[in-house]
Amino acid sequence: MPLIEKIEQAVDILRRSAVVVVFSGAGMSAESGIPTFRDPGGIWDQFDPEELGTGSGLLHTLTRHPDRIRSFLEATIDIFLSAKPNPGHVALGVMERMGYVRTVITQNVDNLHQEAGNSRVLEMHGNLFRQRCLACGKKQVSEKTSYLLHIRRALERIGRLDLNAVLRELPQCRCGSPMRPDVVMFGEQVQDMPESFLEADSCSAMLVLGTSGVVYPAAALPQKAKQAGAKVIEINPGDSVYSGIADVQIPEKTGRVLPEILKRLQDA
């Protein structure tokens, strides 16, 4: 079926759905210049998830190969400093204002859905620009650019990275303890889980955008929505694990398809 017809099918479903929920992954931000995890050249292609994706791996790497942490941070800082919402994010922001999107559930930690104007965003894997106190659990949000520039300056200042240097540079909580980035690493509990499953259970359509669907429990949300009777629309130019449940599959980039969907919703 031609792409245009699939887009029209998706628009038709969205028009007839009382509650639309979005579920997004790294592909959503690919067109903002942030590499995905598992595509060729992706983050887990360049860096070892065993070394950088878990708390114990990070500590181990910090001791044995601090240079690897440094290059990961240096590469990441520049990417996030220049990442802006892409036309896909922007379209979702407008769709919320038009009443077409109730909630965005995302696995992304980049804050781009909020920057594009979505007001109800559940971040199952946390947010890179929020910190959580290691002792009392209190959370605080940092301004993105100054936070990234602070880390960059600290990296320039510090000679060899070690645990003490890292602890010294982490923001301090009022209780006196260091605050870590509030992102979910492998083996840690995901965030906003009951709310996310409730959203999946109560929506009439779910837009599944740019996720490989392999990291659980988040990856189970589309099945949950489908079981509860929702229509599932997937936009992803790559292979998909959701082909068995998607009512419409659009094999194209979200930054290209979502503005097309929005245009048609606005013309209605």
Which residues are identified as catalytic? 125
Q: Does 211 bind ligand OAD (CB under 6 A)?
A: yes
Contacting ligand OAD within 71-110 (CB under 6 A): 107
Interacting partner of 173 out of Zn ion, ligand OAD, none (Cβ under 5 to 8 A depending on kind):
Zn ion
Question: Is residue 215 a contact point for ligand OAD (CB under 6 A)?
Answer: yes
Single out the residue of 7, 20, 30, 221 in contact with ligand OAD (rule: CB under 6 A).
30
Terminal CA-to-CA distance of the chain, rounded, Å? Answer: 23
Residues 6+ apart with CB under 8 A from 180: 131, 132, 134, 170
Nearer to ligand OAD, 173 or 225 (CB): 225
Return the C-alpha torsion angle 141, 146, 148, 149, nearest 10.
Answer: -160
Range 47-58 burial, b when 16+ CB lie within 10 A, else e: beeebbbbeebb
Where does this chain touch Zn ion (CB under 5 A) — which range of 9-17, 128-136, 181-189, 246-254? Answer: 128-136
Q: What are the φ and ψ backbone dihedral angles of 65, each rounded to 5 degrees?
A: -135, 65
Of 92, 122, 133, 207, the one binding Zn ion (CB under 5 A) is 133
Identify the residue among 17, 32, 36, 111 touching ligand OAD (CB under 6 A): 36
- Token pair 């979200």 is at which residue? 254
Interface with Zn ion (CB under 5 A): 133, 135-136, 138, 173, 175, 177
